[in-house]
Amino acid sequence: MREFLKSSKLDNVSYDVRGPVLDEADRMIEEGINILKLNTGNPATFGFDAPNEIVRDLIMNVRESEGYSDSRGIFSARKAIEQYCQLKGFPNVGINDIYTGNGVSELITMSMQGLLDNGDEVLIPMPDYPLWTASVSLAGGTPIHYVCDEQAEWNPDLADIRKKVTPRTKAIVIINPNNPTGALYPREILEGIAQIAREFNLIIYADEIYDRLVMDGLEHIPMATIAPDLFVVSFNGLSKSHRVAGFRCGWMVLSGEKRHVQGYIEGLNMLASMRLCSNVLSQQIIQTALGGHQSSDELLLPGGRIYEQREFITNALNDIPGITAVKPKAAFYIFPKIDVKKFNIKNDEQFVLDFLHEHKILMVHGGGFNWNQPDHFRVVYLPKVDELEKMTTSMAEFLSTYKQR
Ligand code: PLP
């Protein structure tokens, strides 16, 4: 019989956040084993409800949303995004510079498909949100990882970025606030990145989906505002800030200088048309979501769930001998370091698998975020403190005897 293999386009693509460790957890669940899943940033599954007004908007607009929309998105949604960008100081953004998508995910893939020829290079943070690396590879490009420095609060290492630029580099990606580290980049780092992009004529892609989930009174500085003379593509959406990851609602904004990217924009328009439009019903909630009261604000203040869970997880992890963790400033992830010598860890995937088998708790190994050493794992701290406590006490117990074979 003729055998069908996956296409060779997928040869260099990996997406381990939902990879073999999750498969093993799912197999255990099928056996009836209860697993605490700390592997995806999916607020709804941890009891974070979407704001009522959002759900109401959705219900009210079902009839209105039966047909396809403009391939970039409905007017009210794009107008609301345009105004959001105005308030945040994005330069040179009109309504036709905005594209809605079925989540940011769709737009990340689209933006890379439209840009890359085989062998073109894109600078991507390490660790990263792995869809960026996967999308570059899928589009035929070569992801080149630059280091984010744990010793410097996980900020991008500008010298490393500079070292990795080659004549084939077309773009640089930043994820700010960051998944998986929870870092929030200060102005001087963003300016340093803009300077490199300016010198080497790079497009900047700024994934800012966590921009409304910042703690400690800190301010998120949009990349677009730092570099009005450059072409910046910014990504945002409602999956995290409005706890509606399942609605698949994201957008992409083209800002700054655009004269030299008209050909690329033509390509983006074609790709946007090819998928007809993004889910129209979920576009209907954007106007309500972006205007007025932001219900996520309360979660991020002292006494709020995300804030308190961050305090707990940071302290509890740092109390475990052999683990250190930089305190996150934003989002809801922490990326602790583990002392590999002490536990003889050579394979981080094996480490999270061993923990899964012994304690029925699922996390993602650092390699899932393209981290190149076996010494990190990511915890999603969305569960309530009692569940997080279960994770940290289990980890302490596990490590008290663990030696990888
Ligand atoms: N970008 C980052 C940094 C993320 O962490 C995620 C989801 O976890 C996404 C993009 C994808 O979000 P969406 O649900 O909008 O596709």
Q: Mean pLDDT, consecutive 10-residue segments, the chain of 405 residues?
A: 91 77 92 92 89 92 95 96 96 97 97 97 97 96 97 98 98 98 98 98 98 96 96 96 93 97 97 96 95 85 95 97 97 96 94 95 94 95 94 95 89
Look up the CATH number of the domain holding residue 224.
Answer: 3.40.640.10
344 C-alpha to ligand 1 centroid (Å):
33
pLDDT value, residue 292: 80
Q: For residue 22, count other CB atoms closer than 10 A to its CB.
A: 19
Of the residues 258, 290, 322, the one at which a domain ends: 290
184 & 249 share domain: yes
CA distance 338 to 343: 9
- Residue 352 sits at the vertex; the CA angle it makes with 386 and 373, to the nearest 5 degrees, is 120
Taking the model in full, what pTM does it have?
Answer: 0.96
288: Cα within 13 Å, side-chain hemisphere: 18
Cα–Cα distance list, 171 to 87, 89, 112, 144, 290 (Å): 26, 22, 10, 10, 29
232 & 367 share domain: no
The reply to whether ligand 1 has any atom less than 6 angstroms from the CB of 176 is no
219 & 70 share domain: yes
282 & 250 share domain: yes
- Would you say 306 and 83 are in contact if contact means Cβ atoms under 8 Å apart? no
256 & 341 share domain: no
Residue 174: which residues within 8 A CB-CB, separation 6 or more?
Answer: 125, 156, 185, 190, 193, 204, 205, 206, 207, 223
257 & 304 share domain: no
User: Does residue 339 sit within a domain?
Assistant: yes
The number of the ligand 1 atom at minimal distance from the alpha carbon of 240 is 14
276 & 144 share domain: yes
CA distance 302 to 375: 31
Q: Ligand 1 test: best mutation among 17, 179, 249, most atoms within 8 Å of CB?
A: 179
76 & 149 share domain: yes
116: Cα within 13 Å, side-chain hemisphere: 28
Structural domain total, the chain: 2
Q: What are phi and psi of 357, to 5 degrees?
A: -65, -40
The reply to whether ligand 1 has any atom less than 6 angstroms from the CB of 236 is no
Look up the CATH number of the domain holding residue 332.
Answer: 3.90.1150.10
Identify the residue whose C-alpha is closest to ligand 1 atom 5.
179
User: Does residue 3 sit within a domain?
Assistant: no
Its domain, for residue 198, covers 52-290
CA distance 190 to 176: 10
171 C-alpha to ligand 1 centroid (Å):
19
Of residues 100, 77, 85, 79, the one with CA closest to residue 268: 100
The pair of structure tokens assigned to 155 is 């900020």
The reply to whether ligand 1 has any atom less than 6 angstroms from the CB of 226 is no
- Residue-wise pLDDT for 131-171, tens only, equals 999 999 999 999 999 999 999 999 999 999 999 999 999 99
249 & 389 share domain: no
- Residue-wise pLDDT for 357-372, tens only, equals 999 999 999 999 999 9
Q: Ligand 1 test: best mutation among 38, 131, 175, most atoms within 8 Å of CB?
A: 131
